[in-house]
Amino acid sequence: MSDTNKKSLQQWIKILAQQELPEITTVACTLDKFSNDDISSIPLLSKAIMHYQRAY
């Protein structure tokens, strides 16, 4: 593989997030919002996780 075809870690993350695993990216963003929110409750977090679990 030539140097022009090598992708950086950030490029791979973007490819995976947009093309391969968009649902996981959505889940991660949702969980990140909960982790940064001091008033989120465990029941709300559980509800969000269950929402994505049912999608599969």
pLDDT of 37-55, one tens digit each? Answer: 778 788 887 887 787 665 5
4's tokens: 């022009």
Structural domain contains residue 42: yes
Is residue 15 one of the residues assigned to a domain? no
Domain that holds residue 56: 23-56
Residue 18 in domain: no
Whether residue 12 lies inside any domain: the answer is no
pTM of the complete model: 0.43
DSSP secondary structure string for all residues of the chain: --GGG---HHHHHHHIIIII-HHHHHHHHHHHHHHT-TT--HHHHHHHHHHHHHT-
Give pLDDT tens digits for 2-49: 555 788 888 887 887 777 676 777 777 777 888 777 787 888 878 877
CA atoms within 13 A on the CB side of 33: 9
Tally of structural domains, the chain: 1
- Residue 37 belongs to a domain: yes
**Predicted pLDDT of residue 38:** 79
